[in-house]
Structure 1
């Protein structure tokens, strides 16, 4: 026997893959007889699903009629018969969707009558790093029916899969690995006590967060119900400051850089000390004839290359007074002067684990090079050619640089 039959065009038949894993709160959702999603009963007559799962003309605000447009299907279980119910109102909706999957995406639908089913209460406590979420999702088939399945996915914070998911109350979470397909949108993210902590929004790839390539795969995004503030349904005690923040695609790269900095910044204190040590070593080895600068070359991390910064040294200027050089002209050597240099250079490497979480590492490299120049050329007062390893530099006198700076 089928209860609550709606119009034939909007019926979405759903069956449970396993009757032992078939919560009576999970529903199949159909709108305008052509598109399907998943949803969950969170009160006697309220179903939660994604905003993108309802027609665009019904997304514009609260208390919008959805009569004759949306139906939900409660599949048969061991204790319940299959049941269909009509949508009465789109009761509450999230802010309008942006150009990224990292956007809160939810809608609460009021049914035309109370459903004789046990609902799953909402939990606004937030989602922890590594928390295993149970997802009840409905996979559409090519026969126009849906199969309700149970899967588990880990919530992963501090991952480049979603650089905005950095705390239990961040509005959008990432689950890695976690595969989802079209029709799974709106699936409930359940706690171990079968409370609804959020909704599955969409699946994504590295390109969704501006990375060309990354080791994570089958990443899914979800809306965290810790950000809900709906009186009488779900009120968060302490909403995250970012809950009302608009996330657009151009913010993603900045957020990714900020996340990477959290792993690289702790290395910088010891690194700066090491750099100063090597600078002093170079000055000593070159008899303070030359002053040296740090030579750092950076490139943005795109998920492919691991080495994002190379730190070396380059000669800066001649540390002699020209006037003193002229007085000593007759005593200067005519051949080449060679200094053998032995020092460390570094590379900053970023590595991602299989969940897209970065790890930073400073990799030292022992470097040996030579510095050569003709002392007689110092007396001209003109920039002097120096050979440093395989490179050639034309160096000014340090006093000329200081004079130029002072004149400005």
Structure 2
């Protein structure tokens, strides 16, 4: 009976081992298949990508770890398996997770949040690992992304693509420096199952991990034409003894980014491009206002009417200025004494001036560019001088619009 009991236990163990799900991964190009990239299967339901960064340590996204294991020192036995795909010199191999070692802070309600986890395998992998590079990512730097695309048959294909990092983009207004914690790559086409893919240098050093793909809605610009945006965690912020030590982490590395912060950061980024133009904008507007006053012989004083609107990614005009007549610049008492000498009929002033607007455009990477755009206006100002001696206001016609203008002295009294 004792021998039978032991044999039964062995059978159960063997069945359990056979039932452990694996993720079949092949290389699209076996000659260029890095040994360190793995396919990851967790709880037999979902797949991700990961990378071997030490002999027995795999890095992936935190959201690729089951929710109940998202803390340091959690046992992940029988929950996560990894697949090392076959290449010209290697056969397909499998590994099993033993313990979750280090995780990023809890995920927030935005894609612009650090998203990484490192777990230890049950044994050392017979593969070359990829060292971590904490130097950060420069604007325009092209990263090599090794990603595993899931197929309809429950397998995956390891593919290599190149993605340029884009700073100062509304796709991610927090990516403004080499060591900003979250990267934006535009264009960079990814798909579900690519999460955790390593972002590598040409020397196969890991600078970060792919977090997710994004849309304009992720940065509160629901209409912005961002195509194939991907976000990634910058390993310049890592400080894990024996794995990666950032010499001088960015000040924002520990900053908690939530959706409410994104709109403010986007506005701050836009202002970096619009603020330098405002001095010229104000000077141009005032110059045209002075021109209109002279063209209308100062008979009428004019006001500036400015309309501002939030940038939504499509409507490029964020500020535009027009001019409208405000009041009659004559003393009423003086006008009455000269009533008999006032001419009959209408007086017409021909006006020509510029209405200035401030426009914002996005380039293909979602970077804002601001410019001042003039609009040439040709119009007329028409009124009857004889009417100036009657009542409290006078009928004026500016272009196609009619106004009933008060005297400036009455306006000032109010």
Determine if the TM-score, normalized by the shorter chain, exceeds 0.5: yes
Instruction: Sort the Cα spacing of 1:6 and 1:181 in 2 relative to 1 into closer, same or farther, 3 A.
Output: farther
Deviations 1:292-338 (A, max 9, x none): 22222233332223333322211222323334334444443443222
The answer for unaligned runs of 5 or more in structure 2 is: 1-15
Matches within 5 A, 1:52-131: 52-59=63-70, 61-131=71-141
Residue 319 (structure 1) aligned with residue 347 (structure 2): no
Task: Give yes or no for contact 1:6–1:85 (8 Å, CA) kept in 2.
Answer: no
Q: TM-score, normalised by structure 2?
A: 0.89
Distance 1:396 1:37 in 2: 72
Contact 1:333 1:375 in 2 (8 A): yes
Quick one: distance in 2 between partners of 1:133 and 1:234? Answer: 19
- Matched residue of 1:10: which SS? coil
2:24 corresponds to: 13
Verify the 8 A CA contact 1:25 1:74 in the aligned structure 2.
Answer: yes
**DSSP 3-state at the match of 1:242:** coil
Structure-2 residue corresponding to 1:150: 160
**Displacement after TM superposition at 1:106 (Å):** 1.0
Contact 2:20 2:78 (C-alpha < 8 Å) held by counterparts: no
- Whether 1:193 aligns to 2:193 is no
Deviation of 1:260 (Å): 2.5
* Counterpart check, 1:236 vs 2:246: yes
RMSD value over aligned CA atoms? 2.2
Aligned to 1:50: 61
TM-fit CA distance, 1:381: 5.9
Aligned: 1:32 with 2:43: yes
| Partner SS, residue 345 of structure 2 | coil
- TM-score normalized with structure 1 length: 0.91
Distance in structure 2 (CA, Å) of the matches to 1:68 and 1:396: 84
1:384 aligns with 2:370: no
Matching residue of 1:346: 356
1:41 aligned partner? 52
**Aligned partners of 2:284 and 2:356 also within 8 Å:** no
Structure 1 residues 190-199 or 300-309, which shifts more?
A: 300-309
Aligned-residue offset at 1:255: 2.6
Classify 1:331/1:133 alpha carbon distance in 2 versus 1 (closer, same or farther; 3 Å).
same
Kept in 2: contact 1:215–1:355 (CA 8 A): no
How far residue 187 of structure 1 moved from its aligned partner, in angstroms, is 0.1
The residue aligned with 2:286 is 276
| Aligned match of 1:23 | 34
Task: Count how many residue pairs are aligned between Structure 1 and Structure 2.
Answer: 399
Q: Deviations over 1:194-215 (max 9, x none)?
A: 1111101111223332334344
Q: What residue in structure 2 maps to residue 163 of structure 1?
A: 173
More displaced stretch, 269-278 vs 378-387: 378-387
Counterpart-to-counterpart distance in 1, 2:408 and 2:72:
70
Comparing 305-314 with 194-203, greater Cα deviation is found at 305-314
* 1:229–1:7 CA distance, 2 compared to 1 (3 A): farther
Check the 8 A contact 2:170/2:219 in 1, yes or no: yes
Partner SS state of residue 253, structure 2:
helix
Of stretches 203-212 and 36-45 in structure 1, the one that deviates more from structure 2 is 203-212
257-266 or 129-138, which moves further after superposition? 257-266
Which residue is equivalent to 1:250? 260
Separation in structure 2 between the aligned mates of residue 365 and residue 27 of structure 1, nearest angstrom:
58
1:375 and 1:185 map into 2 onto residues whose CA distance is 75
In 2, Cα distance between the equivalents of 1:193 and 1:172? 22
1:35: Cα distance to partner? 0.7
